[in-house]
Amino acid sequence: MEKVKIGNCILELVKGDITEQDTEAIVNAANSRLVPGGGVDGAIHRKGGPSILEELRKKYSGCPTGKAVITKGGNLKAKFVIHAVGPVYKDGKSGEADLLASAYRSSLELAVKHSINSISFPALSTGAYGYPVKEASRIALSTVIEFLKEHQKPELVRFVLWDHNTFQIFKKSLKSLI
């Protein structure tokens, strides 16, 4: 685990399973149709149960890339799931960085709006969407650090990274940014 203080807030990096986090909210790497997919999305829907999809269908007709929506957490430890839609990586020159930063910012804005004090993120867009982890880690971390400096909340932002390699890349990026 890596932990840094940003003002009164804590930013953590951990290796693990996002569906097991005890933060008030976890972020789902959703698709724009908000239907269960593979990877993080599939794992959250499987563990959280059908009530998450039912709430998504009732409240939203989709979510644009770079934005996020919120539901209750169903059977998860987390009280809420924030469904963020990151970009599919094309060439790095098609606005992907802005859209990825926006997905993180939108998630944090929803957390603040709903008085959520702790939130866990996966490495958005780095799985099936093909975003290079090194580039994505710098965008994710710099966006979160900037948000925490400006808003001084949520109190805890945790990045939950599935594998050792992704964890190491995020750790190296974090050290270069602070």
Q: Are the C-beta atoms of residues 125 and 29 closer than 8 Å to each other?
A: yes
**Gyration radius (Cα) of the chain, Å:** 15
β-strand 80-85 against 68-72: which pairing, if any? antiparallel
- Residue whose pair of structure tokens reads 């953590």 in the numeric block: 12
List Cβ neighbours of 88 (8 Å cut-off, separation of 6 or more): 96, 125, 129, 130
Which of these is catalytic: 17, 22, 41, 98? 41
- Token couple for 72: 């209750």
CB atoms within 10 A of CB 172: 13
- Token couple for 64: 């644009």
17 labelled catalytic? no
Residues marked active site are found at 41
